[in-house]
């Protein structure tokens, strides 16, 4: 199981990493815009906070395959190893996924709304396929089920590609996707605590401290 942070908020990333086991960070153009900083500044800051080992997923903005491929190379050169270039699954995107993957740059296929898009991206060479769970739920199209079916398809056909489920707005969506077998999710920083905090845990710890403190003398 791998958890990634879906954010370019450097302080939130730093804080989340200090507490939780984080495998990497995902961004997209909207997330970069929300930071109010230019792309190079954002990527430099995020990479320096997460270090060279964690994954960094960065999306292309170009629309044509050739331009996407050039942009992918620039992203990879700038961000270094363990950088995945996110490419949307348009027709031009599928062409770019093949080119970029063949050039040895790992690709995350993004803006996925159907299981077949995920499978086609995998066949094209993508290492991750990112279905947008909440955006599907917003149009009553069963985001969890799409992610689950994409996961099953990739497994069934022995693809060297994993579902990286994205676009979450509730803990229940995250839980259901993981229960369906998806073992890679990207979530906003606040979800790490929402997934794991419980008042009974805090009560249990408070009780242990008050009852044990007179006896603990190691």
Of 25-33, 39-47, 91-99, 210-218, the window that binds ligand E4P (rule: CB under 6 A) is 25-33
* Residue from 76, 117, 186, 189 in contact with ligand E4P (CB under 6 A): 186
Name the residue nearer to ligand E4P (CB basis): 187 or 206.
187
Residue length of the chain: 218
Q: Which of 23, 43, 46, 166 binds ligand E4P (CB under 6 A)?
A: 166
135 binds ligand E4P (CB under 6 A): yes
| Residue 138 interacting with ligand E4P (CB under 6 A) | no
Catalytic residue among 40, 86, 169, 194: 86
Q: How far is the CB of 138 from ligand E4P (least distance, A)?
A: 9
Contacts 24+ apart (CB under 8 A), 213-217: none
Residue selected from 134, 141, 155, 170 as contacting ligand E4P according to rule CB under 6 A: 134
Binder among 7, 26, 69, 176 for ligand E4P (CB under 6 A): 26
Quick one: which segment of 74-82, 88-96, 131-139, 189-197 binds ligand E4P (CB under 6 A)?
131-139
3-state SS string for the chain: CEEEEECCCHHHHHHHHHHCCCCEEECCHHHHHHHCCCHHHHHHHHHHHHCCCCEEEEECCCCCHHHHHHHHHHHHHHHCCCEEEEEECCHHHHHHHHHHHHCCCCEEEEEECCHHHHHHHHHHCCCEEEEEHHHHHHCCCCHHHHHHHHHHHHHHCCCCCEECEECCCCHHHHHHHHHCCCCEEEECCHHHHHHHCCHHHHHHHHHHHHHHCCCCCC
Name which of residues 88 to 127 contact ligand E4P (CB under 6 A): 110
- 40 counts as catalytic: no
The whole-angstrom separation of Cα 132 and Cα 165 is 7
Per CB under 6 A, does 34 bind ligand E4P? Answer: no
Q: Residues in the site for ligand E4P, rule: CB under 6 A?
A: 6, 26, 28, 30, 110, 130, 132, 134-135, 166-167, 186
Active-site residues, by number, are 86
């Amino acid at each position: 199981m791998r958890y990634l942070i879906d954010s370019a908020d450097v302080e939130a990333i730093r804080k989340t990493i200090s507490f939780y086991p984080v495998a990497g960070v995902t961004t997209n153009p909207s997330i970069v815009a929300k930071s109010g900083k230019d792309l190079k500044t954002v990527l430099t800051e995020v990479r320096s906070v997460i270090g060279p080992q964690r994954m960094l997923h960065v999306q292309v903005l170009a629309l044509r395959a050739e331009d996407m491929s050039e942009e992918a190379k620039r992203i990879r050169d700038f961000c270094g190893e363990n950088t995945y270039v996110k490419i949307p699954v348009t027709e031009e995107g599928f062409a770019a996924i093949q080119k970029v993957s063949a050039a040895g740059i790992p690709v995350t296929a993004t803006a996925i709304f159907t299981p077949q898009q995920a499978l086609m991206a995998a066949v094209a060479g993508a290492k991750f396929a990112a279905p947008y769970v909440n955006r599907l739920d917003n149009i009553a199209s069963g985001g969890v089920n799409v992610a689950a079916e994409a996961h099953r398809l990739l497994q069934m056909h022995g693809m060297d590609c994993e579902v990286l489920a994205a676009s979450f707005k509730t803990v229940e969506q995250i839980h259901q996707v993981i229960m369906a077998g998806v073992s890679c999710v990207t979530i906003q920083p606040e979800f790490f605590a929402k997934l794991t905090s419980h008042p009974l845990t805090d009560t249990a710890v408070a009780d242990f401290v008050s009852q044990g403190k007179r006896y603990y003398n190691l």
